[in-house]
Chains A and B, each alone.
Chain A
Amino acid sequence: MAYELNGKTIEHDEEGYLTDINEWSQELAELIAKADELPLTNEHWEVINFLREYYNEYQIAPAIRVLVKAVKKQFGEEKGNNKYLYELFPYGPAKQACKIAGLPKPTGCI
């Protein structure tokens, strides 16, 4: 199980999450999103970048609430909600957005 990018093989798990998060690149994110049939817009990128910054600091994706708050700050009140995040990432902001951002899948009772 692997992504092919510019002749390079980048391993992922059964669900498409990168085995080694250091292999991530913007180009790879586009490729992962393409497999989900999700064209990435600026709004997607804002979320992806926030997730990566948060991950660098805390080694885990942010709570949904923390993400919603960050989006609200960036895009305004009407987009600062869970529904908007689901519009951006239909398979769930925590799981799908993490996959595209190259982060491990959050696990647990979620």
Chain B
Amino acid sequence: MAQSQTTIPVLEEHLPIPAVAEGALSEPRSFVAKPELQAKLGFPGELVPDWEKKAVDKLEELLGKYRGLRVYLDICVKCGACTDKCQFFLGSGDPKNMPAARADLLRSLYRKHFTPGGRLAPDLVGAKPMTEAMLEEWYTYYHQCSQCRRCSLACPYGIDTAEISMAAREIMDCIGRGQKYTNEIIAKALEIGNNLGMKPPVIRNTLEGVEEDVEDDTGVAVKYPLDVEGADIMLVVPSADFFAEPHIEGLIGYGKVFHQAGLSWTLSSYASEAGNFGMFIGSYENMHAISNRIRKAALDLGVKRIVFGECGHAWRVAYSFLNTLAGPWDFLDPRYPVPQHICELTLDLIERGALSLDRSANDERVVTMHDSCNIARASRMGTRPGGQFDIPRAIIRASCNKFYDMHPDTIREKTFCCGGGGGLLTDELIPVRVAGAKPRMQAMKQVMDRHGVNTMVAICAICKSQFTKILPMYGFDSDMIVSLHQLVGNAIQLGAKE
């Protein structure tokens, strides 16, 4: 099964707005979920009879539930502000990846059935009925949107294209056309407790291995506790932190922070996943079920605080929706944010002098930071605007001596998606992921050339995996991408505070 060749874009000094290349990404298509998988999530196994009508019915239901959706479908004036903002358009030139054009794939059906103009003169207003061809285009191009909302930032009306893409995916799931990658992961999170499907014994085995390694490295017995009842803090991390590189280096860093600060903490095998893929398919029911595992674990363990690890979409769901999904959280200690991000906790400890950090431990690194899209545009950290950008940077500056930001149009709220978010981190979409990473690769190359940057920090499991895979395709070293708490973990002088 040799993998097909993907064309790797050439990086230039500045990122040009590409000429339109009709159909450039029309071929990559994610695998469709099999009937048994669909059933696990409560969706029909294959296209239901009368699916064209069922799709319209579902759209009507969503319009009734989410008033924003109707507004977004109504108010686009085709001003063009979003056209050159999407990384998948910038990397490919495929005009269907212009956000307004992507939204029009759903908008045309909306117009057909829910606007007077569309009912009376469909051809004049671009109104179209649901057909096999429309479904195919939806399936292809709504799985080339990472729901990062960079386009929404540019839209003068604030149209949230992510909401439109979630609605389109929800409609597809409900008529029996689901995506294998996302739905397989949701099924595992529901059945086993995390996206990877790691059962408690393997998490325990992995953590014991980590404890051994850290003690070998540092001579200090740092604990990585699992399912400890009565701990003060429950840390919820993406399961990639137990499994993948460089994610696990971040997990090691979290443990060192807790250890040096003398905090009582635990991981949970029941709530062993921070990420919530229910959001990717707009499925409130699945989002709710995944979030409720966190509530149950917190109650069962009797913890007082919940802290989230480095996971982008997790933090969006946690920061923005956790209370409505799984609240009220009145059993937690009200003196701390509910939930709290590990970066908030770590910076607070640094500022209070509770951590002993030696920046020179990271002196071989010249560091930049990729802001993860969901953290950047769908959440906040700390008490001040922009905390989600300033807090991680303050931690980096406390952990290493050499830090350079990338071009201002590519960071903070203007950051790009890594190219793998929102359910795109699957191998059959590699051409899409390579195209989507291009703007970031371009900006990164600029700081490499100017400042000798050799390390890029991210605080999201998807970003880390995406770059590990894509960096070598652009000719860069896959080790360039690191966890933020990997830098912290390197810099901490264990024993200094004991």
Contacts and interface: CB of A to CB of B under 8 A. Distances in A.
Interface string A90-110: 011011000100000011111
A15 to B, nearest CB: 6
Interface residues of A, number: 27
Contacts of A65: 206, 209-210, 213, 245, 248
A110 B465 contact: yes
B1 A63 contact: no
Contacts of B206: 62-63, 65-66
B339 to A, nearest CB: 19
Given A109-B195, A110-B244, A15 B1 contact: yes
B233 interface: no
B195 A107 contact: yes
Contacts of A16: 1
A91 B3 contact: yes
A21 interface: no
Contact of A109 (B198, B238, B245): B238
B244 A59 contact: no
A110 B465 CA distance: 5
Interface centre among A69, A106, A108 (most CB of B within 10 A): A108
Interface in B1-36: 1-3, 31
Given A69-B209, A109-B462, A58 B199 contact: yes
A20 B202 CA distance: 22
Contact of B240 (A15, A35, A57, A109): A109
B465 to A, nearest CB: 5
A64 B202 CA distance: 13
Interface in B246-260: 247-248
B184 A60 contact: no
B202 A36 contact: no
A4 to B, nearest CB: 14
A77 interface: no
B243 interface: yes
A63 B199 contact: no
A39 B317 CA distance: 45
Contact of B465 (A15, A60, A82, A109): A109
Interface centre among B181, B213, B427 (most CB of A within 10 A): B427
Contacts of B201: 57-58
Contacts of B3: 91
A62 B428 CA distance: 23
B275 interface: yes
Nearest to A69: B209
Contacts of A94: 243-244
B392 to A, nearest CB: 18
A108 B427 contact: no
A108 B240 contact: yes
B228 to A, nearest CB: 21
Contacts of A91: 3
Contacts of A62: 202, 206
Contacts of A27: none
Given A60-B202, A63-B244, A108 B194 contact: yes
Contacts of A78: none
A87 interface: no
B1 A36 contact: yes
Interface in B161-199: 180-181, 184-185, 188, 194-199
B425 interface: yes
B248 to A, nearest CB: 5
A108 B185 contact: yes
Given A60-B197, A108-B275, 6 more contacts: A58-B199, A64-B248, A66-B206, A69-B213, A91-B3, A107-B196
29 contacts: A15-B427, A57-B201, A58-B199, A59-B199, A59-B202, A60-B196, A60-B199, A60-B202, A62-B202, A62-B206, A63-B206, A63-B209, A64-B245, A64-B248, A65-B206, A65-B209, A65-B210, A65-B245, A66-B205, A66-B209, A82-B245, A106-B196, A108-B195, A109-B239, A109-B244, A109-B425, A109-B464, A109-B465, A110-B244
Interface of A: 14-16, 35-37, 57-60, 62-66, 69, 82, 91-92, 94-95, 99, 106-110
- For the complex of A and B, 3 pairs with smallest distance between CB atoms: A108-B195, A109-B461, A58-B202
Interface of B: 1-3, 31, 180-181, 184-185, 188, 194-199, 201-202, 205-206, 209-210, 213, 238-240, 242-245, 247-248, 275, 311, 425, 427-428, 461-462, 464-465, 469
